[in-house]
Structure 1
Amino acid sequence: MLTELIALERTDDAGLVAQLTHQLRDLISGGRLRSGTVLPSSRQLAAGLAVSRNTVTHAFEQLAAEGYLHVAPRRRPVVTDDIEERFARAEPMPKREASRKPLLSPWALQLKDVDWPLSYQADFRPLRPGLADAREFPHEIWARCLRRSALRRRFNDQTLINRQGLREALRDYLEVNRGVRAEADQILILPTAQAALTLVAATTIVPGDTVWTEDPGYPGAAAAFRAAGADVRGIRLDRWGMTRAREARVPKLIFTTPSHQHPTGRVMPVARRTELLAVAEPGRTWIVEDDYDGEFHYDSRPMPALQGLDREGRALYVGTFAKAMTSDIRIGYLVVPPQLSKTMEIAQRHLGLIASVHVQEALADFISGGHFLAHIRRMRRIYRSRRDHLAGSLQRQLGEVLAAEVPPGGMQLIARFSRGANDRSIAERLVAAGVELRALSSLALERPRDSGLLLGFAAWRESEISAAVRIMANALAGKRAARA
C-alpha cells in the first residue's frame, strides 16, 4: 500500500504538505510509482495517513503542476504516462572538482589583494579612524524627525529617488557653509559616498581610461574606478596635497580630497586647486572632489570647496552624512554639473543606488530646522579637544618612537615613526593588543614611501584615548612601562 511507503513527521518544520509532496515526488522519480499508476483518492490517502484531506489535495495539485501526476475532476490521480522517459532523458550532471575555482571577473580576482575595507574592522575599538561619535549625536531630535517623516510619507514616482526637500536643504547648506554652487536638481541623494563614486565611475569611465588619485589616498576611490576598468595612477603628494603629474597624457578623471587630504590631513590652497582645474579640459576630464569630513576644521574657517571655483562644469562634489552625523545614517550625496544631471539620475535608477525616502525626509527636517549645523558646531569643539589630547598623549608616551602630525581638521591624524619601521607588522601587533588603527603604507597606490600609523580621535573620549595610547606604549616599548 502507498501509505506504507510514506512516513510523515508531525513536528517537522517543513510542514505536512511539503513532506508529502517531497516523498511522493521521490517515489515517482525513483521508479517506485511507475507511469500509469493510479493513486488512492485524496480522501482515502488522507485517512490512511491520518492527515486532513486538504493536505493531500494540496500535494496532488503541486505534483500535477510539476508534471508528475495527471489530475481530473472526480477521478483518482494517475502518474504521468511518459514519466520514465522524461527521467531517462535527464542526464545527470557530471561531477565537478570541489577545488575548481569559480569563474570571476578580472576585477573580482584582484579583490583578495586589496587592503580595503579592513577585515578586522568588525568591532568599534579605539582608535579606529574615520568614525564619528554616535554617543554625542542628538538622537532624540533625530527620532522626532524620523517620526514626522513616517507620519507624512507620500508615495509617487518622483519621491522614490530624490526628495526635493532634502536637495533644497542641502543646496542652501552647501552654498553657505561649503561654497558649493549648484541648483537643487544637480544634487543626487545616494545610500553612501562610496555609491556616489560607483555612479561616477559607471557614467564617466571607459575601460582603459586614465584616472589620477592621491597617493597615499582613499582606497575606496581606487576600488570604484578599477571596477569600471580604469587605469588608476597614484599621484604623489607634497606639503599642499596632490601635485600635477609630470606626464603629457591628460587623465579622464582626477580624484582628490582637497579640504582635508585622506589620510595626511593636508589642506590644498586655492592656487593648487586652480592648477588642477586647469588640467581638466571641459567635457574631457572630470574632477571628483570628496569632501568626506570638510565640516570639521578647528584652527580656521573651512576653506570653500574646489567645486565653487569651477566655472566650466568640470567638478563633481561628493559628501556624506556618515561622518558629520553618525555612521548609521547611510546617506551620501553627489553634486554634478548641469550637463550630467539627467544622465546621472537615470544611471542611478539603473544601478539601484537608491536612498531611503523615509530618511531623506527626516534629514531635510533636521537640516532646515538648524539641528545639523548646531550639531556640527558642537562637535567641532569636542573633536578639536580630542585631537589635541591624542597628539599630546602620543608626545608624552611615545615621543621617542612616533611623531604626531596635528591636522587642521578632520577626524584622524598620522603619527610617523622617527626611524624606519615596518608599519604593517606594527599595526598588526597593536590591533592584536586592542587598538584599532591602520598602517600608512597600506594606503599607498604605488610603491609605499611613507611609514606610520593612521589614528582616529573623533569617536573616542579622552579617557579612551589615554587608555589606548598606554596600550600602544606598552606594546611598542616592550618591557618598558609607559610613562604616566
Structure 2
Amino acid sequence: MDDIPVGLASLDLKPAAGTTLTRQLYDELRARILNGALPRGLRLPSSRDLALRLRVSRNTISLVIDQLAMEGYLNIARGRRPTVAEVPATTLATGQSVRQTRIRPLRLSRWADRTRKTDWPFPIEGPPRPLATVLADARLFPHDLWGRYLRRAARRPLTRLPTINRAPLREALLRHLVAHRGVKAEARQIIIMPSAQASLELIARMLVNAGDIGWVESPGYGGARAALEATDATARGITLDDGGIALKGRRDRPRLIFVTPSHQHPTGRLMPVSRRQELLAFTDDTGCALVEDDYDSEFHYDGRPVAALQGLDRNGRVFYVGTFAKSMFADIRSGYAIVPPDLVAVFETAQRRSGQIVPAPVQDALTGFIDDGHFAAHIRRMTRIYHGRRDHLVQALRLHAGDHLTVERPAGGMQLLAHLAPHWDDRDVVARLAHAGVTARALSQHFTGPVTGKGLFLGFAAWNEQEIDKAAAVIGDVLQSMHAPKALRRSGKAVPASGPRQPRPSLSGPKA
C-alpha cells in the first residue's frame, strides 16, 4: 500500500454521521485542498489504496475523484494517479495571498443604505397578534374552495406561450372594478403585479427621476415614500385637512402625488368629491401624475361607497393601484395597477424587465374565483363581519381607555386611529403594548416631515370580539400605568384609578 499523505492521515469517515460517505469524502478532500493541507502537485494514493484505508468501496472513491476533477480541484490522466491541481481559491487575481491582504467590505448603494436605516417597513414581530393592522381574517377565507381553483388551474395545460397579464383575469377584474369601484378603463390597461407595493415601485420608476419631488400624505403610507426614495427622488410630506391632502398655498411642483382617497391611511378619512376634482385640476395644470391606492376600499360601512377617483379622470393622469391581499388573504401575493392606455406597452416591458410577474396558475385561479361569484360573495360576508368588529373595537376602547384615547370611527377599511394627547410618546406606548402581547402602530411613525399628532393605529378586521376585548383591556391597563403619578410608578405599588374600579363588563357577542 502506498504511503498516505500527511493531509489525509487524519481522515476518518463516519457511516452514521447523517450524510452519505460519498458526500463526507467530497467535503473533506475539497476542504483540505482549499486550506493547503493537500498542496498543489501532491499525488494522491490509488483508488484501491484509498478504499482500503478509508474502508469504503472503490466506486465511492472513483465518484468523488471524478467530481473533484470535473470542478478543477484534481488533475487526472489515464494510467496515472490523481494530483492536486493549482486552485486559485486562496489567492487574489493579483497573485497576492488572501492572508496578507485586508478584505474590503462590500459597498452598498445609497438606496440600500437608506433601506438599512429606514423605519418602514415595520419589523416583523413573529406571528400576527391583536391588533395588527392591514390584515384580513384569513381564518374566515374559504381556503378549500380556493384550493380547488388553484388545482384546476395547475392541471390546465398551456397551449400557447403564457402571457404575463392573462386576458381572462384582466376582463374578470375589470368587470368587478367597474361594478364595485366605478373605474373607467379597458381590460388591457390592467397590469397584474405581485403586490400593491410592487405596483407603486414600478410606477415611481417609470415616472420619477433622481432629484424630482413626489408628494405623499403626512401622515400616510410609508410604502409610498419608500417607492419614491428608491428612485432617488425627494418624498415631500403634505399635511392633511378635513378633505385630505391639502393643496392650498403649495408652490412646489411635484412629478407625482400619492393619495389614499377612499380610506386615508392611517386616519380612515374619506376624500370628498370637491377635493378629488381639485386634485385632478392640479394634475392637469402641472403635468404631474396622480397615484390612487385603493388598498381596502371594498369594505365600506357607513352610507354608499364612494367611487374611485380614477373614474373621474378624463386626461390619463391617474394610476390606480389595488390588491387582493386585503380582500382575500395576505399570502396570496397578488395585486394590480391600472395605467393610462398609451403607457400599457412600456409598462408591460418594464414589468418583464423587473420580473414582477404573478404565476399564470394563480391568475387563472383568480379568474375562476371572480367569474363564479365567490370573490364578491366573500367581500359581502366580510363587510358585515368587519363592520361589527369596527364598532366593537370603538366601544371596547372607549370602555377601557376612553380617558386617554380619542377614537376616529372610519367609514370603512380594516383599521382605525385612536388619538393620544400630544404629550404622550406613542412609540413608547407601542413598545409597552408589544411587551404585553398587543400589536399597535404609532401614528408618529406615519409622518413624512414634522410630526403633528400622536396616536395608535389599530386593526380590527383580523380579530374576533374576544380578541378585541382582551387587547382593549391591555391598552387600557398600559395607558393607565403610564398616566399614573411618577412617585407611585417608582414605588411599584398598585396604581388606583380615579375612584373605585368596577369589574369591566364584556362587550363580546357571538364569535364571528
Task: Give the TM-score normalised by structure 1.
Answer: 0.91
Are residue 386 (structure 1) and residue 414 (structure 2) matched? Answer: no
Deviation of 1:215 (Å): 0.5
Deviation of 1:340 (Å): 1.4
Output the amino acid matched with 1:52: S
Deviation of 1:316 (Å): 0.6
CA distance 1:135–1:49, change in 2 (3 Å): closer
Task: Give unpaired runs (5+ residues) of structure 2.
Answer: 482-494, 506-512
Q: 2:81 aligns with which of 77, 80, 83?
A: 77
Name whichever of 33-42 and 237-246 sits farther off: 33-42
Retained in 2: the 8 A contact 1:400–1:418? no
Deviation of 1:157 (Å): 2.9
Output the amino acid matched with 1:130: V
* Partner secondary structure for residue 280 of structure 1: helix
Retained in 2: the 8 A contact 1:69–1:79? yes
| Aligned counterpart, 2:334 | 331
| Aligned counterpart, 1:125 | 129
Retained in 1: the 8 A contact 2:192–2:358? yes
- 1:307-362 CA-partner distances (Å, limit 9, x unpaired): 11111111111000111111121111111111111111111111111112222111
Are residue 150 (structure 1) and residue 154 (structure 2) matched? Answer: yes
Retained in 2: the 8 A contact 1:250–1:279? no
| Aligned counterpart, 1:303 | 306
- 1:381-436 CA-partner distances (Å, limit 9, x unpaired): 11111111111122222222111111111111111125632222122222222221
| Aligned counterpart, 1:398 | 401
* Partner secondary structure for residue 77 of structure 1: strand
Retained in 2: the 8 A contact 1:60–1:77? no
Are residue 457 (structure 1) and residue 460 (structure 2) matched? Answer: yes
Q: Give 1:59-458 correspondences, 5 Å limit.
A: 59-73=64-78, 75-79=79-83, 90-94=95-99, 102-119=106-123, 121-154=125-158, 156-159=160-163, 161-244=164-247, 246-281=249-284, 284-418=287-421, 420-458=423-461
Distance 1:37 1:395 in 2: 80
Over the matched positions of the two proteins, sequence identity in percent amounts to: 48
CA distance 1:7–1:155, change in 2 (3 Å): farther
- 1:69-101 CA-partner distances (Å, limit 9, x unpaired): 44233x0225369789x9898432256779x86
- 1:228-247 CA-partner distances (Å, limit 9, x unpaired): 11111001100011121633
Deviation of 1:483 (Å): 4.2
Output the amino acid matched with 1:9: K
CA distance 1:153–1:189, change in 2 (3 Å): farther
* Partner secondary structure for residue 362 of structure 1: helix
* Partner secondary structure for residue 235 of structure 2: strand
Retained in 1: the 8 A contact 2:43–2:81? yes
| Aligned counterpart, 1:473 | 476
Task: Give unpaired runs (5+ residues) of structure 1.
Answer: none
CA distance 1:251–1:82, change in 2 (3 Å): closer
CA distance 1:352–1:81, change in 2 (3 Å): closer
Distance 1:96 1:276 in 2: 59
Retained in 2: the 8 A contact 1:180–1:307? yes
* Partner secondary structure for residue 331 of structure 2: coil
Retained in 2: the 8 A contact 1:131–1:456? yes
* Partner secondary structure for residue 367 of structure 2: helix
| Aligned counterpart, 1:49 | 54
**What RMSD, in angstroms, separates the aligned Cα atoms of the two structures?**
2.7
Retained in 2: the 8 A contact 1:69–1:77? no
- 1:426-456 CA-partner distances (Å, limit 9, x unpaired): 2222222222111111100111001111111
Distance 1:129 1:83 in 2: 54
Distance 1:29 1:460 in 2: 55
CA distance 1:412–1:55, change in 2 (3 Å): same
Output the amino acid matched with 1:154: L
| Aligned counterpart, 2:22 | 17
Retained in 1: the 8 A contact 2:131–2:468? yes
Output the amino acid matched with 2:382: M
Distance 1:56 1:432 in 2: 56
Deviation of 1:110 (Å): 2.3
Task: Give the TM-score normalised by structure 2.
Answer: 0.86
Retained in 1: the 8 A contact 2:38–2:84? no
Distance 2:91 2:261 in 1: 66
Output the amino acid matched with 1:42: S
CA distance 1:27–1:261, change in 2 (3 Å): closer
Retained in 1: the 8 A contact 2:217–2:239? yes
Retained in 2: the 8 A contact 1:282–1:312? no
Deviation of 1:476 (Å): 1.4
Distance 1:34 1:416 in 2: 70
* Partner secondary structure for residue 268 of structure 1: coil
Distance 2:86 2:398 in 1: 84
Deviation of 1:30 (Å): 7.0
Retained in 1: the 8 A contact 2:73–2:85? no
Q: Give 1:2-13 correspondences, 5 Å limit.
A: 2=4, 5=9, 6-13=11-18
Retained in 2: the 8 A contact 1:289–1:307? yes
Deviation of 1:20 (Å): 3.5
CA distance 1:92–1:166, change in 2 (3 Å): same
Deviation of 1:132 (Å): 0.9
Output the amino acid matched with 1:317: Y
Distance 1:377 1:81 in 2: 69
Distance 1:87 1:456 in 2: 56
